[in-house]
Amino acid sequence: MTDPAARTAAILATTHQRLAAAYGLPVRTPPADPIDDLVGAILSQNTSDINAGRAFAALRAAYPTWQAVLDAATPELIEVIRSGGLANQKAPRIQQALAAILAARGAFDLTWLAGLPATEARRWLTALPGIGAKSASIVLLFSLGLPVFPVDTHVRRVLTRVGAAPSVATPDAVMAVVEAALPADWFYPFHRNLIRHGREVCKAQQPRCTVCPLADFCAWRRQNQ
């Protein structure tokens, strides 16, 4: 296969099919409110899901409404979410994003984004303070069901290792590759399965190649075995 785009699409399709055979096709969970997912995405930046979950739970316990979060003294909010890490950066980002949403829409509401094309909705979200393409894509895919493909560290690691993207590719570049190559209805199950595979098998250190369903065509394994 000489066409690079066709080769990439074939690698991605095989990866999706192998992971679906190994893990099944994840069923969509009931969507969270998109503001919840937006704040959760900010809290998840550069930390574990466990720490982010603790910080989000602490935030919701401390403040009954998003207006209360916005009105809170920033040093107080920092202490509330400290368990999530990088609280000094995340607290003002959360408040700035909430303020921008309220100023633009008159309410803490992002459900209207579901009526926009995916590229336009992502562009609107990434204009908010502290919101990059990954955080925006999480909100759009999980809360609003739009056809976007979030790329976190696990997704990027698996896809660059199998050769679907160069090892130096940024998360945004990997996202663009997948969105151009695969059907939109694959995005949700593929994203979920890639994260599971990255956590359980294709780990950053000491990947478990001997039990990997992708091992026979993985470029990284060929180079490192």
Contact 164, 11 (CB under 8 A): yes
CA angle 166, 136, 11 (to 5 degrees): 30
Would you state the structure tokens that stand for residue 158, as one six-digit string?
A: 């698996």
Residue 222 backbone phi and psi in degrees, to 5: -60, -35
> How many Cβ atoms sit within 10 Å of the Cβ of residue 75?
11
Q: CB–CB of 156/171 below 8 Å?
A: yes
Which entry of 122, 134, 154, 221 is annotated as an active-site residue? 134
Active site residue 134: yes
Residue 76 burial class via C-beta count within 10 angstroms: exposed 0-12, middle 13-18, buried 19 and up: exposed
- Per DSSP, 63 falls in state -
Active-site annotation, residues: 134
